[in-house]
Structure 1
């Protein structure tokens, strides 16, 4: 008989192979399922098939008592709903999904955090571009901000995906979707320096051959976690007091593009958003930009 744990492993493999989910997403799904499994043990419930809608309501109460944010609760319930759909599809349990009727808490609408130009300038001046690691880090910053791609997309990039002569890159996005994005002159120059110099030196540290664009200090393909570590170090060295993730550079790209008058649908295409509503969250403007518009447009400003 297949164990409950094996069902979870099969589901995670399904997310990775068939749904092409990022390692970051899969990690969260696994944590959410493990949290629910721990709850079942506390309630002396054996097996996913024994879960009822009443028990799901009780689980929701437990999550609220632990003071989880609304977005976190919504994610946990959504993860379990997807897991049960998988169990139904594979006929592991009979056609019932106790999470199907659970109402998701309304997500808190947060404005995306972004960097101002002075903050970006400090960040871009940190790396020592005379070293292989410094050249790589500078290229990472330039391409994340210059294109708005996701960090998972950055880590998938191969040398053949770049055409620096025409300043364009092929990006492999979510759900195996591909798109072309333009590369700015600053990103192109950083990439040229890194590819011609730093990357070759990093590749010499291993006998393995790799077509991955970005390499770690061992000469192996850089991971999403590795990029996060690099960014944290750069933030620390730039003396910025804010916490940023690679996604903040994506937010900054979209915010700056729209603030300068870019078309919303063009930004949607560049970001690889399936729905325009995902892009509309960036239509907020900075206080300084708002004041500039007001001063230029209002007769009695």
Structure 2
């Protein structure tokens, strides 16, 4: 982000017009009203992520919040022109947030990734000439400890809905489907909540996951236990094709908070005294796919993340949970 001073040069800015990002040749920043209101082009960057990269609202919110902090820091340093930012200023910002908020290396690495993505957009858009973020060094941090469930623990969760009395018609079958989707499908929470009956083909043994990460769509094979659980729920609820699979007592789609209330209820009943989340089941399913690929109908592509090498070095062969979702 080299200093241009008073040099008047044309630049290319991405603007949103009719739902598409278009390139627009603009005049100098001094005469650009949009530049005065958003001198760091944060809104243009977020529009680029939303339209061209199909970023989720959660991603846009995180990027926007982080870049707002960066913009506030630049203003506190008297910087109102993004082209005046250099590597020294970037390092000063990272040191500032690290000391002020006592951030770890993993969090700093995420913030560096945000700055690199943002700076790349500015360079490709010809707003800046050089990208100082390329000179930043990502700090090292230890590999995360993957939290997964053993075979016995997974079987326990699958059996819990049958051990307690349902409070309304279809509750038991619905809760069984939740844990079968977690264990045998490896679905994320948002993917489970977005699943509709029209996305499931029980005759061919496939389901379409439409709310995958990054707003992508993928097909996932139905393991026999999952297929049976879905048939039981359909027989009780007699749903319409356009209805969501998971409904509450009033046949309304369950919310995120309701989903966690259901999950935490069974977590307490299980008696497992350690930290377990819905994503722990996804790790367990990835472990199954990685170690027992021949028995599992799933692949890493079905999980929506080609990260077998990542899981391979974390899980060891022969763990008791390796066959958990293969049957």
TM-score tier, shorter chain, comes to: 0.7 to 0.9
Match of 1:188 in 2: 227
- Greater mean deviation of Cα atoms: 50-59 or 29-38: 29-38
Label 1:263 to 1:70 Cα distance change in 2 as closer, same or farther (>3 A). farther
Query: 2:305 matched to which residue of 1?
Result: 273
Which residue of 163, 170, 176 maps to 2:201?
163
User: Which is further off, 150-159 or 138-147?
Assistant: 150-159
Alignment partner of 1:15 is 2:53: no
SS in 2 for 1:160: helix
Q: Which moved more, 1:140-149 or 1:152-161?
A: 152-161
Poorly superposed stretches of 4+, deviation over 6 Å = none
Structure 2 counterparts to residues 36-47 of structure 1, below 5 A: 36-46=70-80
Report the counterpart of residue 111 of structure 1 in structure 2: 145
Q: Which of these residues, 109, 117, 129, is aligned with residue 95 of structure 1? A: 129
After superposition, what is the alpha-carbon deviation per residue over 1:178-231, rounded to whole angstroms, capped at 9, x for unaligned? 44322222222222233343484xx9xxxxx95443446675555666645543
The equivalent residue for 1:252 is 284
- Aligned match of 1:154: 192
Specify whether residues 165 and 14 from structure 1 end up closer, same or farther in structure 2 by C-alpha distance, changes over 3 A only. same
Which of 117, 129, 153 matches 1:82? 117
SS in 1 for 2:96: helix
Structure 2 residue ranges without an equivalent (≥5): 1-32, 323-327
CA shift at 1:250, angstroms?
Answer: 0.7
Q: Name the SS for the 1:181 alignment partner.
A: strand
Query: Which residue matches 1:293?
Result: none
Q: Would the aligned equivalents of 1:158 and 1:212 in 2 still touch at CA under 8 Å?
A: yes
**Distance in 2 between the 1:89 and 1:210 partners?**
42
Larger Cα-atom Rg: 2
Deviation of 1:286 after TM superposition, in Å, equals 6.7
Q: 1:85 deviation in Å?
A: 2.3
Determine the C-alpha separation between the residues in 2 that align with 1:132 and 1:4. Answer: 52
Q: CA deviation at 1:288?
A: 5.6
- Once residues 238 and 112 of structure 2 are traced to their aligned partners in structure 1, the CA distance between those partners, rounded to angstroms, is 43
Please report how far the alpha carbon of residue 94 of structure 1 lies from its aligned counterpart in structure 2 after TM superposition.
Answer: 2.4
Match of 1:29 among 59, 63, 68: 63
CA distance in 1, matches of 2:89, 2:40: 23
C-alpha contact (below 8 Å) 1:139/1:194 kept by paired residues: yes
- Superposed displacement of residue 81, structure 1: 1.5
Cα deviations across residues 10-48 of structure 1 (Å, max 9, x unaligned)? 433433343233444333323322332343344343354
Change (3 A) 1:79 1:170: same
Alpha-carbon distance in structure 1 between the residues aligned to 2:129 and 2:255? 39
Alignment partners' CA distance in 1, 2:302 and 2:281 = 14
Residue 146 of structure 1, CA deviation: 0.5
| Length, aligned pairs only | 282
After superposition, the Cα gap between the structure-2 partners of 1:35 and 1:170, relative to the gap in structure 1 and judged at 3 Å, is: same
CA distance in 2: counterparts of 1:38 and 1:232, whole angstroms: 39
8 Å CA contact 1:162–1:168 kept in 2: the answer is: yes
Aligned counterpart for 1:141 among listed residues 155, 173, 179: 179
User: Higher mean Cα deviation, 170-179 or 156-165?
Assistant: 170-179
What is the alpha-carbon root mean square deviation over aligned residues? 3.7
